[in-house]
A and B are shown apart, each in its own frame.
Chain A
Amino acid sequence: MSHDSHHAPVACKTELAPERSDLGLYRPDRATGLIDWLTTVDHKKIGIMYGAFAMLYFLIGGVEALAIRTQLARPDNDFVTARMYNQLFTMHGTTMIFLGVMPLSAAFFNFLVPLQVGARDVAFPRLNAFSLWTFVFGAFVLNASWLFEFGHLAGWFDSFAWHKALVYTDFAPANGWFSYAPLSGTFGANGQALRFTGVGTDFWIIGIQILGIASLAASFNFICTIINMRAKGMTMMRLPVFTWMTLVTSVLIILAFPAITVALIELMFDRAFGANFFNPSAGGQPVLWQHLFWIFGHPEVYILVLPAMGIVSEVLPTFTGKSLFGYPIIVFSGAVIGFLGFAVWSHHMFTTGLGPVPTAAFSLLTMAIAVPTGVKIFNWLGTIWGGRIRFTPPMVLALGFIWMFMCGGFSGVMHSSAPADSQQQDSYFVIAHFHYVLLGGVLLGLMAGLYFWFPKIFGRMPNAPVAYLGSALVILGFNLAFGPMHYLGLAGQPRRTHTYHAGNGWETWNFVATIGAYVLGIGVVLVFGNLVWTAFRGKKCGNDPWDGRTLEWSLPSPVPEYNFAQAPVVATRDAFFEHKHGAKKIGLENDGGEAGVHMPSQSWMPMLASAGFLFIGFGMPMMAMGIPHAGWLVISGLGVLFLGIWLWALEGPGGYMLKTPAPSGAPAPAETVAH
């Protein structure tokens, strides 16, 4: 293949000569503006898009949460109907987990992993674009169900004959984020496939399926990148902890998602083709759904939290001026958490009657998983201990993470005891627990990451006073909203119930929780709004504003397309910090820098392939609704997917050479930015 030799190196890709791919089509390599973003294979741009979509869905999920809290502010409230309430809490959970936290983590994976391992891109740039667009279309399919619900509320569908047949209870998903069978499944013998819930469940099934494909493709890519594309000298035990946690998270994703994929396929066969996997009338076992869901669902909790732990492990050493205390133990604990994460799923199912032996075993393993988590917390405390702490916005958020996550951990250990859990099951106590983990833990961690790396991503510094104010409101509002729920749960308030009567002693704390939720909402808007403002208008800052420790800080901000003009050679952990303050300098590999850096070509094909999922995503629910000929939409979607992959394979990898500003022999990138 001589595709990369017929190009002379160019300083900017717009100077490229028009080039046809192996298929004879023009490559979008020279594109700028919108087309550039749509066809990009640059991991940094893909990361930014992941982040932007994640913030959008955080806001949508937040609005859903505020609607829930408004409904619960007073007893016997009728702000929303019970039907709407079910859809709100289902879509709130699904949105926050699959469209908020996971893509925001993916944004960090994309942006940081190649920079931290010293690579110029991920292992499969086009596959990376495919992951992004598949996520975008999957998220769209899932949320499009709201449009049907709103259309129904507006009465648009009343005149259609098929309307009466297609919905029983909902248009948007309304089963909870776990969609337990048999509520989400079918009943009736011999393939009647009578359903408890409406088309929302079908949207949920296909939407999660598509999002799963996006996560799987991205994870294969990141594992490959981390294992295979490390710079010279970057041994596994010199990897930054964030990269390590990305690796563990990706391994969890590739091993946990198949379980939910199969469960979703089975549920889809039940609903669309009258199969009997979870149909109690035909002997199907709804508890099997719970097992399959939580075999995925529990590792998923660690998929959500490990990236945030990785971020905190980067932020704390930077702002204490110390290296991470017990690096090998932190890495090992992360791996142990990932491993044990597969062995605790049944603690979500203590009340299903597993029998004494499994219950005891899962209790024990759940308690055991607190050990590596505690080890991590003590290591973070050890990192802070004796350090010169700088209370920058990311540091404040990271310290908030440790504190809040620990509270969530404590109530988690309480759940591990089966007798206690059977009292707490399905009460607000559980809601308090996992919001302390997911919001106090994960969201604060991710926000810390955003404030930490934003100067690297955009070369601009977020406004500090607004950041402090936003962080304070988030932490205050969050505790006000979820602290009282511990009490409400123990006082017996059940989850997923659209209202409650006065006189149970729940009124005061529900009202306080609602106020807290609004304070939290204002805080989140400030925190995110500040970032959006920063991206466009923030004050420009240097390449290394925090005195960073890892390789990404050695690069200019914003990072050039090719990342490293010359590949770095690493001699130690915290390579850039050592380079600035220690004896071990970052070397530069003589990899033909003057000839330019080989860049992968941009392509429409990943997006085309992903677009197939859009057809499938709308076709499957319509098929389940019984709309005639909807099956052809699914088949055409598969056709588009196949066509996209086929053209993708045939167009050839392409690529061009980009000149770097520092020809070989010139000063090292590190030296150009050192203070």
Chain B
Amino acid sequence: MKNAKHSHFSGLIKKSGLAIIATAFVLTASIAQAEFKPAVVYDIAGKNDKSFNESVFNGATRFMNDTGIAVTELEPTNAAQVEQTLKKLAQRGYEPIVAVGFGMSNAVAAASEAYPDTKFTLIDGWVMAPNVQVVLYKEHEGSFLVGVLAAMNSKTGTVGFVGGMDIPLISRFECGYKQGVAYQDSSMKVLANMTGSTPAAFGNPSKGGELTRSQIEAGADVVYAAAGGTGIGVYQTAADMGVLAIGVDDNQNYMQPGTMLTSMFKLVGDAAYDSYEAAMNGTWDPAMRVLGLAENGVGWALDEYNRDMISAEMEARVNEVRASIISGDIVVHDYTTDNSCPI
């Protein structure tokens, strides 16, 4: 009912003249806020990590621009603050609350139990509750594609992978990538490293750079990073040493033009946007969403920054593999189903 009133109101603004748009905008914003107060809580890496969090931030910003409704953003600076932050938002009537990252699973579980009427959307995490919408991605499928591309571009027969925190989620990227590389060329060698075992491993570019350097020195000439902010150091080192790098989460092709082969994007921004939009329209539903290549939740980025590096042959090959995965002809093993990788 509340939502219906809101859309009626925005309909009115669209019809009204330019002169009153400004005032109406302020009005909607304040009225809408009383009714519909979406929020987002970023993880420890912070919203400007040029990767995972920033992608969500872009989704939230897009929602704000499209609807004029303010999305409240919070960045807890340590793990202990996350649960408090979520509960405080719920207590003040914010919903839906989008929580970003696997690390928030426990906090969301606690907050959703304490506030059973508040809608939560958890990206990448895992909570079983009637008021939590879990959004997961088939990162292994997207990583498989960039693995194929890495194998096609390697001249040394060795490619690298730099992960962030050593958790099954990141192993899923790694395992998908390895399968893709092997699918293209079974004689290829994949060097894989994890940056650390705490969330800080997603924000350590120095370490990422050193890991990349050691892989390059061991022969790798394409390095794929699934490490959040740590990736910045990976791409920088790859550029410095003249080898190719593959970005992750967001389209990161622009970061080191000329040496960024592609990015395995994961449209987490869309998940946040969809959640807000659904809640606004009253269609929000807590069913788990698992987004893969078929749903265009993950994929490989081709834009003006890497256009020249991708030959027609490569593009055709990757798209062919993509179609095979969607049709089910290629089944990419998901590391998290049995915590092991066949390769």
The yes or no verdict on A and B being binding partners is no
Where the two chains meet, the residues of B that have a C-beta atom closer than 8 Å to any C-beta of A are none
